[in-house]
Chain A
Amino acid sequence: MASSNSDNTSNGAPDAQTPQASALPEILPNPEGGAAGISIAKVAGRTLINLRCEDNIKAKLEALFGTPLPAEPNKVASMGTRRAIWLGPDETLLMIEEEQEAEFMLNLKALLGTAHYAATPVSDAIKIFRLGGTRRLDVLAKGCALDLHPASFKQGDCAQSMLAHAAITLAADTPDSLLLFCRTSYSDYVTSWLKDAAVEYGYILLDNA
Chain B
Amino acid sequence: MARKTNIRANRNSHQAVSIDSHAPISFTFDGRTYQGCRGDTLASALLANNVHLTGRSFKYHRPRGIMAAGAEEPNALVGIGVGGRIEPNIKATQIELYDGLVAVSQNRFPSLKLDMGEINSVFSRFFPAGFYYKTFMWPASFWMGYEHIIRRAAGLGKASDTHQDPDRYEKRHAHFDIVVVGGGLAGLNAALQAANSGQRVLLAEDQHQCGGWLRSCDDIAIDGMAGHEWADKTALHLAEMENVTLLPRTTCFGYGDHNFLTLAERVTDHLAEKPAHLPRMRLWKVRARQVILATGAIERPLVFAGNDLPGVMLASAAQTYLNQYGVLAGGRGILTTNNDAAWHSAFALHEAGCLITAIVDTRENPAPAVLKQAAALGIQTRLGAGIIAAHGRLHIARVEIAPLTKTGDALAGEAEHFDCDLVLMSGGMNPVVHLHSQSRGKLKWDERTYCFRPSTSHEATQSVGACNGSFEPSRGIKEANAAALKAVKANGGAAEALDLPDIIARKINYTPMPIWQIPSGLPAGQGGKAFVDFQNDVTASDIQLAVREGYHSVEHVKRYTTTGMATDQGKTSNINALGILARERNAEIPAVGTTTFRMPYTPTSIGMIAGRDIGGLFDPVRVTPMDKWHREAGAKFEHVGQWMRAWYYPQKGESMEEAVHREVRAARQTAGLLDASTLGKIDIKGPDAAEFLNRIYTNSWLKLGVGNCRYGLMCKDDGMVMDDGVTTRLADDHFHMTTTTGGAAGVLDWLEEWQQTEWPELKVYLTSVTEQWAVATLSGPAAQEILNAAGTDIPLNNEGFRFMSMREGHVSGLPARIYRISFTGELSYEINVPARYGMALWTTLMRAGKTFGITPYGTEAMHVLRGEKGFIIVGQETDGTVTPHDLGMSWIVSDKKPDFIGKRALARQAMQASDRKQLVGLKTKDPKQVIPEGAHATLDPDQPPPVDMLGHVTSSYFSPNLGHSVAMALLRAGHTRMGQTVYFPMLDGSPPIEATITDTRFYDPKGERLNG
Contacts and interface: CB of A to CB of B under 8 A. Distances in A.
Contact of A14 (B171, B638, B763, B836): B638
Nearest to B275: A31
A148 B652 CA distance: 52
Given A16-B637, A200-B279, A118 B683 contact: yes
Interface string A10-53: 01111011111110000000011000000000000000001011
Interface stretch (B34-42, B115-123, B617-625, B995-1003): B617-625
B650 A5 contact: yes
Contacts of A50: 767
A122 B638 contact: no
B860 to A, nearest CB: 10
B639 A19 contact: no
A189 interface: yes
B398 interface: no
A197 interface: yes
Contact of A197 (B612, B655, B686): B612
A148 B619 CA distance: 24
Nearest to A138: B172
Contact of B767 (A116, A118, A123, A147): A118
B277 A31 contact: yes
A122 B174 CA distance: 33
B653 A147 contact: no
Contact of A8 (B200, B279, B287, B636): B636
B631 interface: yes
Nearest to A21: B616
Contacts of B650: 5, 8
Contact of A11 (B278, B656, B763, B768): B656
A185 B623 contact: yes
A142 B836 CA distance: 31
A186 interface: yes
A199 B277 contact: yes
Interface centre among B620, B652, B686 (most CB of A within 10 A): B620
Given A20-B616, A166-B620, A4 B172 contact: no
Nearest to A11: B656
Given A52-B685, A124-B771, 16 more contacts: A1-B653, A5-B654, A13-B637, A18-B644, A31-B275, A120-B683, A124-B835, A142-B170, A142-B172, A142-B612, A146-B173, A164-B620, A184-B835, A189-B620, A189-B622, A199-B277
B293 interface: no
A145 interface: yes
Contacts of B620: 20, 164-166, 186, 189
Contacts of A181: none
A192 B613 CA distance: 12
Contact of A16 (B279, B634, B835): B634
Contacts of A11: 656
A8 B127 CA distance: 53
Contacts of A8: 636, 650, 655-656
B168 interface: yes
Interface string B595-632: 00000000000000000110111011111110100010
A183 interface: yes
B992 interface: no
B770 interface: yes
A144 interface: yes
Contacts of B173: 141-142, 144-146
A86 to B, nearest CB: 16
Contacts of B652: 1
A56 to B, nearest CB: 13
A188 interface: yes
B552 interface: no
Contacts of B623: 18, 185, 188
Contact of A52 (B175, B687, B767): B767
21 contacts: A1-B652, A4-B655, A7-B655, A8-B655, A12-B638, A13-B647, A18-B627, A19-B616, A116-B765, A120-B685, A149-B175, A164-B620, A165-B619, A186-B620, A188-B623, A189-B617, A192-B616, A193-B617, A197-B612, A199-B277, A200-B277
B528 interface: no
A196 interface: yes
A118 B683 CA distance: 9
A14 B621 CA distance: 11
Contacts of B172: 138, 141-142
Contacts of A197: 170, 612
B373 interface: no
Nearest to B772: A125
A104 interface: no
A1 B771 contact: no
Contacts, number: 155
B692 to A, nearest CB: 13
Contacts of B359: none
A123 B772 CA distance: 7
Interface in A95-123: 116-118, 120-123
Contacts of B625: 184
A53 B168 CA distance: 47
A174 interface: no
A125 B686 contact: no
Interface string A121-160: 1111110000000000010011011110101100000000
A2 interface: yes
A19 B644 CA distance: 10
Contacts of A18: 616, 621, 623, 627, 631, 644
B763 A116 contact: yes
A92 B174 CA distance: 29
Contacts of A199: 168, 277
A188 B617 CA distance: 11
Given A13-B638, A199-B168, A116 B687 contact: yes
A208 interface: no
A31 B268 CA distance: 15
Interface in B683-719: 683, 685-687
B772 A20 contact: no
A141 to B, nearest CB: 5
Most B Cβ at <10 Å: residue of A146, A147, A184: A184
B450 to A, nearest CB: 42
B440 interface: no
A122 B772 contact: yes
Contacts of B200: 149, 151
Nearest to B637: A14
B839 interface: no
B958 to A, nearest CB: 16
Contacts of B424: none
Contacts of A121: 772, 834
Contacts of A5: 650, 654-656
Contact of B171 (A13, A142, A185): A142
A21 to B, nearest CB: 7
A197 B279 CA distance: 10
Nearest to B631: A16
A116 B772 contact: no
Given A120-B683, A142-B172, A125 B835 contact: yes
B581 interface: no
Contacts of A90: 765
Contacts of B647: 13
Top 8 closest A-B pairs, CB basis?
A185-B622, A1-B653, A125-B771, A124-B835, A118-B765, A147-B175, A189-B620, A52-B765
A22 B612 CA distance: 13
B866 interface: no
B769 interface: yes
Nearest to A149: B175
B720 interface: no
A36 B831 CA distance: 44
Given A8-B655, A124-B771, A152-B175, A196 B624 contact: no
A151 B200 CA distance: 10
A200 B612 CA distance: 13
B765 A185 contact: no
B285 interface: yes
Contacts of A184: 625, 771, 835
